[in-house]
Structure 1
Amino acid sequence: MSRRTADDPTALGPVDAPVVLVEYADYRCPFCGLFSRDTLPPLVKKYVKSGDLRVEWRDLPVFGDQSTMAAVAGRAAGNQGKFWEFNKAAFAIAPERGHADLSRERLVQIAKESGVPDLTQFEADLDSEELQQAVAKDAQEAASLGATGTPTFLVNETPLIGAQPLATFEKAIDAALKKAESQ
């Protein structure tokens, strides 16, 4: 399911990395926040920086209209080169239980805090039909895989469901690296 698009603002790591971690997530999902805060940073440090892993984000808004608007907001930030900064700021406020209140006003505040340079354009992009369709396309892709909840991950072709411990991701990535080396 990896796209390996060179200029994808929602991806981290080299386009030719031997392993791709695809993450289907919702900004209002507390377990997605847990992954973002606790698991993703060590994976980036250990595997992305070495060139072994590429992380590709996919939107799977499952918690209502605010989830969809937040997904569009992430893409709007990405249009200005600030997707991952927005992503980190949005998940920094995610509660450990329940769902973050991500109103339009709060999303604009998160964009400002994450360094999105043109907030007027950001706000205009929140109403972008093109960005809404991109979010819907990700959700349809997830549905085609049978993913109904967040977070859902693919490590190459290996699915991981839910907020798994770091060691689970490391084991899956290491196995995918070993398999890639043997091919």
Structure 2
Amino acid sequence: MTDHACPICDAGFTSESSLDDHCWDAHGACHHCGTEFDDQNALYAHWLAVHGDSLSNKARARATAEVGELTFRDRLEYQGPASAVANASLSRRHLLYGGALGLGGVAGATLLSDSGGGGGKSLAEHPAATKLGAQPTLGPSPSEAEGTIVAFEDPSCPACARFERSTFPRLKSELIDPGRVSFVFRGIPVVYQWGDPAVLALEATHSRSVAAFWGLKTFYYREQANIGMENVQEVTRQYLADQTDVDAAAVISDVQNEMPRDVVDVDLQASQDAGVQGTPTFFLFSEGSFATKIVGPQSYDVFASSLGV
């Protein structure tokens, strides 16, 4: 039975240690989130700084034996100033450049919890739903739907791509399109660096065309393996120019000038206030009240049963 999946190539392994060995030997990457490194000591420092809460005792001992306990400089580099000082909240630098955080960065990781940062709060009160009306939404209005899914995703996240391929199509066809469930997308760049300009491009596109936004989101997940920091703007421009009526050059200009940054920061702040530690993370509401939080690319049945639909 293969319970551990590679975040890069999806190969399955029976143990975390086997997955760890594979990710380093085959990809030079972290088995939690797929972030690549030039040397193994950098990988171990990343483990301790970014995935400390998720490490097994064996992995923690292995990393500490190689690089020692994290210094303040290490924490500053990986976690940003706020966490380096307080070891509490996530700084924006960490979110952008520290790699995937917590469970969401583990390929195939799943977590179902009723501790979604909002207790029994209503949709209007929950921190995950801050400024919800301005977010890209499929299906009925969240205020009118039987259920609402607020999804925190990163276009560069392999686990998000797996959700997009395996679960989202059925959610759309059976619950969203029939008007029963509202799906709200909130893009947060937390995995690979190219996720940041991609999220900016999504916001710049959404302000011009809702249909083009959803098409670009699908494109990013479909072509994820072929996109990096060096070509993300060009492939975005090419897709928008070829497949939509949106002014592709204007979108790229907005990305380069970081015009949608304030909009992205709203989503980042909402993710922090709601306790998001990685992508994909979903907050589910049933009849307007918080039901549960799901972390990872869970199956359709998990979403449907959690929503009670």
How far does residue 11 in structure 1 lie from its aligned partner after superposition?
A: 0.8
Q: Which residue of 1 aligns with 2:205?
A: 77
Aligned equivalents of 1:130, 1:19: Cα separation in 2: 33
Aligned equivalents of 1:64, 1:104: Cα separation in 2: 14
Aligned equivalents of 1:114, 1:9: Cα separation in 2: 23
Q: Which of residues 130, 151, 163 in structure 1 aligns to 2:297?
A: 163
Aligned equivalents of 2:249, 2:259: Cα separation in 1: 17
Q: Which residue of 2 aligns with 1:35?
A: 163
Q: Which residue of 1 aligns with 2:255?
A: 126
Aligned equivalents of 1:9, 1:138: Cα separation in 2: 9
Q: Which residue of 2 aligns with 1:181?
A: none
Instruction: List alignment gaps of at least 5 residues for structure 2.
Output: 1-127
Question: Which is worse superposed, 139-148 or 8-17?
Answer: 8-17
Q: Which residue of 1 aligns with 2:244?
A: 115
Could you list the per-position Cα deviations for residues 91-127 of structure 1 after superposition, in whole angstroms to 9, with x for gaps in the alignment?
11124xxx94252222222333441421122122213
Instruction: List alignment gaps of at least 5 residues for structure 1.
Output: 178-183
Aligned equivalents of 1:54, 1:131: Cα separation in 2: 24
Q: Which of residues 263, 275, 284 in structure 2 aligns to 1:146?
A: 275
% identity of equivalent residues: 24
**Does residue 230 of structure 2 align to residue 92 of structure 1?**
no
Q: How many residues align?
A: 170
1:69 partner letter? P
Aligned equivalents of 2:179, 2:269: Cα separation in 1: 29
Aligned equivalents of 1:137, 1:61: Cα separation in 2: 12
1:30 partner letter? P
Distance 1:114 1:35, change over 3 A: farther
TM-score (norm 1): 0.83
The answer to which structure, 1 or 2, has the higher relative contact order (CA under 8 A, 6+ apart) is: 1
- Other structure's SS at 2:197 match: helix
